[in-house]
Amino acid sequence: MAGVLERVQKYRAKLRMEGMRPIQIWVPDTRRSGFAKECRRQSLLVKLDPQEKEILEFLDDAADREGWEA
């Protein structure tokens, strides 16, 4: 196990030397019971929001798709 920890430390030190730094990101647990139900609830709220269509149209117009294939 010490060999693995040593390699991880060496790898992290290398990344730091290259100007990188570690961060921690917390994200929703998709395996949690009720996750899908909550996603659906929020989706329905947005679907019924009268401003949603306007926002999506704005984002669609603002998106740079040059070079993308359809």
The answer to whether residue 68 is domain-embedded is no
43: containing domain? 2-62
Instruction: Please state, in angstroms and as integers, the Cα–Cα distance from residue 46 to each residue in 14, 29, 41, 57, following that order.
Output: 44, 21, 9, 14
The answer to whether residue 69 is domain-embedded is no
Q: Per-residue pLDDT for 21 more than 90?
A: yes
Higher pLDDT, 16 or 69: 16
- pLDDT for residue 70: 64
Q: How many domains does the chain have?
A: 1
The answer to whether residue 50 is domain-embedded is yes
Share of the chain above pLDDT 90, in %: 70
- pLDDT for residue 15: 96
Encoded tokens for 9 = 């430390």
Q: What is the pTM of this model?
A: 0.51
- What integer is the mean pLDDT of 37-48? 93
- pLDDT for residue 67: 82
